[in-house]
Chain A
Amino acid sequence: MTLANSVKGQTVCIAAIKHPMVRAQAIRFGISEGETVMIQEIIPAGPVIVRKKHQELAIGRKMAEDIQITLVS
Chain B
Amino acid sequence: MTTCHGAPIKLDIGKGEKKLVLAGNPNVGKSVFFNHLTGMYVDVSNYPGTTLDISHGRYKDWVVMDTPGIYGLSSFNDEERIARDVILQADKVLNIVNALHLERDLFLTRQIIDTGVPVVVAVNMVDEAKRRGIQINFDRLQEELGVPVIPSVAVKGKGLKEVEAALPQACIGRVNTELAAEIDKLSQAIANRGEALLALEGDEGIRAAYGISQKDKREEIYLNRRECVNEIFQAVVTETTQGANFSTKLGYWMVRPITGIPILAAVLYFMYQLIGVWVAGDVVGFTEETIFQGYYEPFVRGILTGFIAPDSIVGQILYGEFGLVTMTVTYVLGLLLPLVVAFYFFLSTLEDSGYLPRVAALTDRVLNYVGLNGRAIIPLILGFGCVTLATITTRLLASEREKRIAIFLLGLTIPCSAQLGVITGILASIEPGFVLMYVLIILSILIAVGMIMDRVIPGRSSDLLIELPPIRLPRLTNVLKKTGIKSFAFVKEAFPLFALGSLLISVLQVSGALDVLQEALAPLTVGWLGLPKESANVFIMGLVRRDFGAAGLADMTLAPYQAVVALATITLFVPCVASVLVIFKERSKKEALVMWFSTWVIAFLVGGVVAQLYARLEQVYLTVAAFTGLMALLVGASMLFSRRKADVTAQSAPCCHSEQ
Binding site for B on A (CB under 8 A): 19-25, 27-30, 32, 40-41, 43-47, 49, 52-63
Contact = CB atoms under 8 A, between A and B. Distances in A.
Contacts of B621: none
B5 interface: no
12 contacts: A19-B651, A24-B222, A27-B226, A29-B104, A32-B222, A44-B365, A45-B365, A49-B255, A55-B101, A55-B103, A56-B467, A61-B365
Contacts of B360: 58
Nearest to B469: A56
Contact of A29 (B71, B257, B374): B71
Contacts of B101: 53-55
Interface in B97-146: 100-101, 103-104, 107-108, 132, 134
B76 interface: yes
Interface stretch (B296-304, B458-466, B500-508): B458-466
Contacts of B107: 27-28, 30
Contact of A58 (B226, B357, B649): B357
Contacts of B229: 30
B310 interface: no
B589 interface: no
A21 B223 CA distance: 13
Contact of A27 (B222, B239, B252, B357): B222
Question: Which residue among A28, A32, A55 has the maximum number of chain B CB atoms within 10 Å of its CB?
Answer: A28
Contacts of B364: 43, 46-47, 58, 60-61
Chain A: interface secondary structure?
A: mixed
Contacts of B108: 28
Contact of B374 (A23, A55, A60): A60
B579 interface: no
B361 A58 contact: yes
B71 A47 contact: no
Nearest to B252: A41
Q: Which 6 A-B pairs have the closest CB atoms?
A: A60-B463, A60-B464, A58-B361, A63-B463, A46-B365, A56-B468
Contact of B104 (A21, A30, A40, A47): A30
B219 interface: yes
B57 interface: no
B467 A29 contact: yes
B256 interface: yes
Nearest to B258: A44
A25 B465 contact: yes
A63 B74 CA distance: 20
A43 B257 contact: yes
Interface string B569-584: 0000000000000000
Interface string B335-350: 0000000000000000
B255 A43 contact: yes
Interface string B457-496: 0000001111110100000000000000000000000000
B218 interface: yes
B331 to A, nearest CB: 41
A72 B89 CA distance: 45
Interface in B368-412: 368, 373-374
Given A21-B651, A27-B222, A45-B365, A53 B103 contact: yes
A28 to B, nearest CB: 4
B219 A58 contact: no
